[in-house]
Amino acid sequence: MQSKELSFECETGNYHTFCPISCVSWLYQKIEDSFFLVIGTKTCGYFLQNAMGVMIFAEPRYAMAELEEGDISAQLNDYEELKRLCLQIKKDRNPSVIFWIGTCTTEIIKMDLEGIAPKLEGDIGIPIVVARANGLDYAFTQGEDTVLAAMAHRCPKTILHAKEKPPLIVFGSIPDFTAKQLSLELEKQGIKVDGWLPSPKYTDLPDIPEGAYVIGINPFLSRTATTLMRRRKAKLINAPFPIGPDGTRAWIEKICSVYGVVPKGLEERELEIWNSLSDHLSVLKNKSVFFMGDNLLEISIARFLINCGMTVYEIGIPYMDKRYQAAELKLLETVCHKKNTMMPRIVEKPDNYNQIDRIYDLSPDLVITGMAHANPLEARNIHTKWSVEFTFSQIHGFSNAVEILNLVTRPLKRTAKLEVSRLTTI
Amino acid sequence: MKLAYWMYAGPAHIGTLRIASSFKNVHAIMHAPLGDDYFNVMQSMLERERDFTPVTASIVDRHVLAQGSKEKVINNINRKDKEENPDLVVLTPTCTSSILQEDLANFVTRASYESQADVLLADVNHYRISELQAADKTLEQIVRFYIDKEGPEFISKITKTKKPSVNIIGGFTLGFHNQHDISELKKIFAELDIDINLIIPDGTYVHQLKDLPRAWLNIVPYRETGLKTAEYLNSKFKIPYVDETPMGLKQIASFLRQIQKILVSQGWECNFEEYITNQTYFVSQAAWFSRSVDCQNLIGKKAVVFGDATHAANFAKILHYEMGIKVIWAGTYCQYDADWFKKEVSSFCDEVVITDDYNLMASLIAKSEPDAIFGTQMERHIGKRMNIPCGVISSPVHIQNFPLSYKPFLGYEGSNQIADLIYNSFTLGMEDHLLEIFGGHETSDEEPRGIIKTNQDSELKWTQDAHNELSKIPGFVRNKVKRKTEDFAKKNKVQNITLEIMYAAKESNSSI
């Protein structure tokens, strides 16, 4: 069982995850002057309205352009239809940008959103950014990747003078508060973050000159990284992601090394955080965990949990970009060696049915899974944590490490507290 | 294209999945892209289901787009057949797969050569019918399939049950209080000494469906699901059915009398009148409750009602006939059933609303300023914004509408629940009076957020005295008083609203 290297497998892709259009729910909140128009069917709308829950009632800046039979059979003119809807949105909300989210249906009927957008943009005077966040190609958080990749094209581009220090742009959507915390950590090392993609306002998109340094904050941003490198000629800093104190330190150290700064006080800072987590760590020590995989944060969280003393049996993941995640995978391996624990198997495009068989065999202490499987597993006495919560919580940077452990330890602590769950004791 | 923020009924495949997953040992396979299996989340979270939802997806990805599904769907059906041994596999198209126009029927035929399970293709068009219509259709399709399977001589072999018995058709996964409703119906039939032959689809095996014709009659408590099946069984086996919903005392009585009539016509002597009287006036509390002095305060209150056809129509009738509440308008999002709905409620509502546009709902509610709303979760949120209380009476619903405790809407216990719901939705009785006399608990200046703003014409000015008086008015009517006073002022071409103007406005309009 104790292999020296990580093993990668690929299954059937029959797994449960959220549709990538769900990125609308956090991106409309992040980009304050935006409006998201999802061009799809009732199925897309039904998913969004149920997945977003109460948010839907807060007059969100998002809507469906619901395709009707006339649209599918091309009896209606796509351009005219979209123009009518976008003018309505302009009148009601007057956003600084409209995002068109392409879906499976627009792919299949080959609606030329990228072709229509520039023309309509000219006609109505609002920028239109097209992202194809569909379930044919992507899973859950990858939706954000498609949107950010499309936004990368819209960032202004100045010329970098030869003597100038290349600016640092961080990409990935995180709450403003967390972004400020991370900027502050870098400031302590004398490094200034010159811009974030996305910025809180579309009108403040960061300037990305050729030769700028870019670094990702989330593991699911491969397309954005590729776009920034190939199309914007930026230089990607490949680092582990700032999730957990170990990841955060590695992330900052890597940035420092690029700018030729010797990091100071980082080791102490990491230690300080670990010490503050000791209560949680005692709960997690020698416990095992199984990731069914649905949001691409799995490698980073697994790496952090192994560092917390847990054993990870399996890391299911929708899509594994070994190049973009290279530094993170390397760190995972190092952590396994350091902790002298088994190398987890990484299963890309997992098969949920087979995974549940393996879960029965391994009986892990905790399964990190989607909501479709959580209650049925709990009913079989297997502790679960909903993976979606990791996406919607603040998990980045030193001070949010505790948030991750709050999530992970909650099911374990809860069962310890509930006397009624042990039916034999009543 | 339609700009939509919210919808009342889901896509067709959800209806099919709700029916399929209600049966025992039936598995549904969706021909769908990644992420369309959101149904499993809803089943697992809303119903707090302990078992894995028997729905899997045969994923449509880029390769399927380029080359077609080829063997993928067939392999997935046969794999599920081996893994779970279901009695029936229902292949469910989605909006995506219906545009691909793959020959799913052919996949079904080929898969059924190898599988032990029966295999069916759900016959629903995504762009023409909604969730509820699809559910109705799928249930009929499955029933028809298993009846047809019995062969042409089946009709002659049918024997009716010795004692009168009924089938209850309807009541399924994610239905609004369906489980409790069915329990309540079971109780009533037990008390009337009528057997239950089958309840479909919930908790039934498909091989039991051939026993459906043994029942003396069919009960369809919800119009949205089951009507098609009842019609089919009626045309094929001449089984009469009752499609009245036993919701509210008046409707329960009429429901029971219809059953009595059918049973008598089939040669079974019975008389339910005593049972009806006893239940209505002595067992159920609702009739006495609406007579009790406390409920006098309900007279003159105004309400609006919205929901699916069954719940909205029956609820409106209860408000009107049993509580003496004025129903300003009643409406439904079941547009395909508009004629029936209008027929049921137009005699006592000023207006009937048929729409699935929630923005229209919001503006209608703002315009009619009811004392309470009875609607879906959407109306609850509209009410919250406008400070109008709302009772939820119909899908679409949230997790709190799947209560753990016994809360039927049908039958005599249902009447009690409904009476409580109505009563609690109004600010009533002593509280109402005290608020009026002493100016309410809240005297903040903050305006309740309404969707339609009251007149904000700049020429109208409120004097300090009048403003203070306005802020003393209880929050839930303050907006209304403000608007009516301003309307009065405008009508009389007055620009400064003083205390006198306020009182004059009140006199001219005694309803505020």
pLDDT of B502 reads: 83
- Please return the burial class of B130, using the count of CB atoms within 10 Å of its CB with bins 0-12, 13-18 and 19+: buried
With an 8 Å Cβ cutoff, are B60 and A136 in contact? yes
CA-based nearest distance B5→chain A, Å = 5
pLDDT band at A161 (very low <50, low <70, confident <90, very high): confident
Closest by CA position to B119, among listed B152, B79, B154: B79
Taking the C-alpha atoms of residue A26 and residue A361, their distance in angstroms, rounded to an integer, is 37
Interhelix angle A371-379/B38-46, rounded to 10 degrees, is: 40
Closest CB to B33 among A84, A135, A356? A135
The rounded distance, in Å, linking the Cα atoms of A308 and A365 is 14
Contact B1 A63 (CB under 8 A): no
**What does each C-alpha distance from B91 to A69, A122, A359, B133 come to in angstroms?**
22, 45, 28, 17
Query: Are the C-beta atoms of residues B154 and B34 closer than 8 Å to each other?
Result: no
Give the number of residues written for chain A.
Answer: 426
Q: Which two tokens stand for residue A422?
A: 């042990």
Chain B partners within 8 Å of A356 (Cβ):
52
Of A21, A43, A376, Cβ closest to residue B50: A376
Distance CA B188, CA B476 (A): 40
Q: What average pLDDT does the structure give for chain A?
A: 93
Kindly state whether A84 is in contact with chain B, defined as any CB-CB distance less than 8 angstroms: yes
Sequence-ordered strand ranges (E) for A329-374: 345-348, 366-369
Q: Which residue has the tokens 């003083």?
A: B498
The per-residue pLDDT for A55 is: 61
Nearest CA in chain B to A44: B36
What's the pLDDT at B449? 42
Q: Which residue has the tokens 């006399």?
A: B437
- Residue B382: closest CA among chain A residues belongs to which residue? A57
| Residue indicated by tokens 């299996």 | B37
Q: Which residue of B has its CA nearest to A73?
A: B99
| Strands, sheet with A195-197, edge to edge from the N-terminal-most edge strand | A195-197, A168-171, A213-216, A235-236
Question: How many whole angstroms separate alpha carbon A383 and alpha carbon A289?
Answer: 10
Q: Is A177 on the interface with B (CB under 8 A)?
A: no
The pLDDT value recorded for residue A238 is 97
Q: Taking CB atoms and an 8 Å limit, are B94 and A140 in contact across chains?
A: no
The structure tokens 């582990």 sit at: A240
* Residue reference for tokens 């569909």: A134
List per-residue pLDDT tens for chain B, 512 residues long. 999 888 899 999 999 999 999 999 999 999 999 989 899 998 888 888 899 999 999 999 998 888 888 889 999 999 999 999 999 999 999 998 888 889 999 999 999 999 999 999 999 988 889 999 999 999 999 999 999 999 999 988 899 999 999 999 988 999 999 999 999 999 999 999 999 999 999 999 999 999 999 999 999 999 999 999 999 999 999 999 999 999 999 999 999 999 999 999 999 999 999 999 999 998 899 988 888 887 887 888 899 999 999 999 999 999 999 999 999 999 999 999 999 999 999 999 999 999 998 889 999 999 998 989 999 988 998 888 888 889 999 988 788 888 999 999 999 999 999 999 998 888 654 565 566 666 554 444 444 443 334 445 557 888 888 888 887 776 667 777 888 888 888 888 888 888 888 888 877 765 44
Reply yes or no on whether the pLDDT at A244 is more than 80. Answer: yes
Please state the pTM of the whole predicted model.
0.89
Catalogue the long-range contacts made by B359-366 (C-beta closer than 8 Å, 24 or more residues apart): B359/B5, B361/B306, B361/B331, B362/B451, B363/B451, B363/B452, B364/B304, B364/B329, B364/B331, B365/B304, B366/B450, B366/B451, B366/B452
pLDDT digits (tens, 9 = 90+) for A312-363: 999 999 999 999 999 999 999 999 999 999 999 999 999 999 999 999 999 9
Sign of CA dihedral B79, B83, B88, B91: negative
Of the candidates A67, A89, A375, which has its C-beta nearest B50's C-beta?
A375
Contact B45, B167 (CB under 8 A): no
Active centre residues of B (catalytic): 294
Q: Which residues of B touch A105 (CB under 8 A)?
A: 95-96, 99
Q: How far is CA B320 from CA B289, B317, B373, B427, in A?
A: 15, 5, 14, 18
Torsion of CA B439, B440, B442, B446, to 10 degrees: -60
